[in-house]
Amino acid sequence: MQKGIHPDYVVSEVKCSCGNVFETKSTEPAIHVEICSACHPFYSGKQKFVDTGGRVERFQRKYGRKDIDKKETK
pLDDT tens for the chain, 74 residues: list them.
788 898 889 999 999 988 889 999 999 999 998 888 888 777 667 766 666 667 777 777 888 766 655 555 55
Report the distance separating Cα 60 and Cα 65, nearest Å: 6
Predicted TM-score (pTM) of this structure: 0.52
Q: Which fold has domain 1-47?
A: Rhinovirus 14, subunit 4 (4.10.80)
Q: What residues have CB less than 8 Å from 25, skipping those under 6 apart?
A: 9, 10, 11, 12
